[in-house]
């Protein structure tokens, strides 16, 4: 497996607006910024509450970056692309690089 591969888990609650937005946003960010270097698993906590329990998920939507380490949680509907990328370590910390906006 590729060392640089990013493994993500997105916890959502059913068809709520925020959940659907989070799914759309994360796919968009992945496609635009991660190329094909990613895996996203979507977990609906209404259907799999046990998994939310195991990960002690409090709020939805919650995105967990499983790999590469360190583990990072990002919460919200993923509407702030900059923050998501920061959480995914795509923008190196310390460097004031601004990503081009559409």
Which residues contact another protein (rule: CB under 8 A)? Answer: 11, 13, 16, 18-19, 21-22, 25, 45-46, 49-50, 52-53, 56-62, 72-81, 83-84, 86-87
Q: Which is nearer to another protein, 1 or 83 (CB)?
A: 83
Q: Which is nearer to another protein, 8 or 52 (CB)?
A: 52
45-71 burial string, b = 16+ CB within 10 Å, else e? beeeeeebeeeebeebbbbbbeeeeee
* Polymer length in residues for the chain: 102
DSSP 39: E
Least distance to another protein from the beta carbon of 1, Å? 25
């Amino acid at each position: 497996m590729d060392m640089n591969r990013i493994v993500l888990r997105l916890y959502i609650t059913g068809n709520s607006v925020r959940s659907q937005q989070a799914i759309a946003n994360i796919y968009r960010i992945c496609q635009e910024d991660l190329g094909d270097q990613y895996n996203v698993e979507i977990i609906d906590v209404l259907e799999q509450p046990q998994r939310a329990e195991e990960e002690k998920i409090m709020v939805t939507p919650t995105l967990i970056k499983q790999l590469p380490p360190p583990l990072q949680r990002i919460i919200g509907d993923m509407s702030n692309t900059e923050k998501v990328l920061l959480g995914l370590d795509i923008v190196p910390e310390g460097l004031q690089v601004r990503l081009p906006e559409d």
